[in-house]
Amino acid sequence: MNRRKFISFLSFSALYSSSRLSWGSDLYHIKSMSELRNFKPEYIGQEVYLESYYVGVGRGGGYFTFHEGVRNDNGGTVISAVGGGYWLRRLHNDLCLVYDFGARDDIDGFDSTNAIQGAIDNCNHISLGGGDFNISHPLYLRSNIIFDGDFGSLSSLVPKNSAFMKGSIFAPGNYHPDFLQKIIKKQILDYKNNSIKLDDVSGFRKGDIVRISSHESTLSFGFWVENYIQLSRIIKVDSLNKTLIIEHPVSFDGELELCLASTDSVKARFGRPLFCCTDTIVRNTEINTWDYWIADSCTYNMLFENIYGSAKSVVYGNSYCYTTFKNIRIKFTGSVSELAFGSHFTTLEGIYAISSDEGVSKKEMISWTEAGRNCTLSRFLLRINNNETPSTIIRISGHSNAIIKNGQIFIFSNSNNILSVENYGNGQPECANITYSNIDVYAKESINVFCDVFKANDTATIEKVSFHNVRYFGMKPKVALLRLRGTPLNTISGVDAIIYSKYGGDAKIAHAKGNYIHLTSVAYESNTEDYSTNNVTYSKVN
């Protein structure tokens, strides 16, 4: 007799209290994940229904099918069965909810780190399902996934002022100069555009991400940072000619070396292998932490969209490459943005940053440096509360082809400068092709300098800086509306500035020539400086 089909009257009472769905049904109802682990399957292909991950919670349930063979129990989609084999969760459109791995939002202070990390490690499309979860460690993002909060939240349980990055929310890659110094690199014998020749291409595969870097480095905050850094995807391996064809061309003239962007041989922070996160989307998530929501990072072709909440910074990290941050709204306690360690071809769009009521810890609100290039900040709003007077609002230094455009800045006062381009020489990469455009700045009290270009010494390099349609609404600057400072042997040239000030302001120029400057104000400015080597004009408007 097929006992799966046989149900007697005598067994009814036992059936009622067991896991069966209903009299005559072949589908078992399992009350919790722990019960599923102790439930012995009857035949291959048997299907059961899990009511809830935890008894009575009503979350994390679903259909499971029994399979023979061996697969690792991952706590959510694959569950080891009694007597061998495993239960496999049926997914809808390849979507995993973090509840499926044991995350809980029904208990205050419950730590869901392991559950959410389990979902990330084992699923390609992960959702918070709109729930509000706590974590005690940054979540390491895997490549080629979608992480969708569905407007749920992630909050750090880590005590304030714990070790760096302990309170971070995400780790999309984990680059830091200290760890990259340990990686073994291969000398590039020759390169042109997208083609790279090595002495041996074994170990490289189509689809791998490689890191290309220069021999020359600059000391930055105690670490050596290469003057040229590039990530690119291998699209072809030519074993015969020992050549790699990469997705994006090399734009450098000098000796270069190369390594895989991800490697198990080098351990980074918290003992995790060094890795680059690629082709992943993170969206629709509220984050809350005292720390940087991202700290150590390395990304390639990633999207962060609709991220909001509170953190130390709005967009902070290392080696963001071909990455977009879109519609990011953060109340911050440190700074607005720091792009470092060779970030390139990265866009920040739709950025809303407001300083915390507690104040901010950094003196520069936006700082792009460390061999970055081709990054853009567009459509942004920055508000600094009255209790804070940061020395610099935006500083571009050691970064080329940067565009800052279409923004509004509201501040109380400022002790140094608002929009600046600065280079400190001594091997620091040049600042070239820097554009500020369509930016309005409102200040309640006084500022020192509105727009500033500075060469610190005879080795500093700055080329082609534009201030176009930048407007200042506030008291007349104490020092200058525009200040240019070079050295006697290293003058500033190539500045093109069209600046408006409601209440006036002058140009202060030292060791600069061949610059085109037009200042517009309702209060016409007279000046006593010698502008014979620069084209400086003023106009009065009503």
Quick one: which H or E segment has residue 114? helix 113-122
Q: How confident is the model over 217-227, as a mean pLDDT? A: 92
In this prediction, residue 539 has a pLDDT band, given cuts at 50, 70 and 90, of confident
144 has pLDDT over 90: yes
- Residue 362 CB partners (closer than 8 Å, separation 6+): 334, 335, 390
8 has pLDDT over 60: no
Q: How confident is the model over 173-190, as a mean pLDDT? A: 94
C-alpha 312/C-alpha 333 separation (Å) is 5
State percent of the chain over pLDDT 90. Answer: 88
C-alpha 239/C-alpha 34 separation (Å) is 52
pLDDT for 321 equals 99
Query: Which amino acid is residue 284, in one-letter code?
Result: N
pLDDT for 532 equals 78
Q: Which residue has the tokens 């030292």?
A: 510
pLDDT for 360 equals 95
pLDDT for 386 equals 87
C-alpha 496/C-alpha 516 separation (Å) is 5
* CA distances to 18, 173, 179, 299, 319 from 267, in Å: 49, 12, 7, 17, 17
Q: How confident is the model over 189-207, as a mean pLDDT? A: 97
Q: How confident is the model over 325-347, as a mean pLDDT? A: 98
pLDDT for 530 equals 64
pLDDT for 3 equals 33
C-alpha 290/C-alpha 384 separation (Å) is 18
pLDDT for 25 equals 57
pLDDT for 522 equals 76
pLDDT tens digits, residue range 463-506? 999 999 999 999 999 999 999 999 999 999 999 999 999 998 88
Average pLDDT, the chain: 93
pLDDT tens digits, residue range 375-405? 999 999 999 998 889 999 999 999 999 999 9
338, two tokens: 């720091």
pLDDT for 349 equals 99
Q: How confident is the model over 425-448, as a mean pLDDT? A: 96
In this prediction, residue 181 has a pLDDT band, given cuts at 50, 70 and 90, of confident
C-alpha 524/C-alpha 540 separation (Å) is 5
Cα end-to-end distance, the chain, whole Å: 99
pLDDT for 232 equals 99
pLDDT for 164 equals 95
338 has pLDDT over 80: yes
* CA distances to 196, 237, 430, 501 from 256, in Å: 10, 19, 18, 46
pLDDT for 525 equals 59
Q: How confident is the model over 520-532, as a mean pLDDT? A: 68
Q: Which residue has the tokens 């995807």?
A: 233
pLDDT for 22 equals 40
pLDDT tens digits, residue range 230-265? 999 999 999 999 999 999 999 999 999 999 999 999
pLDDT for 527 equals 60
pLDDT tens digits, residue range 269-294? 999 999 999 999 999 999 999 999 99
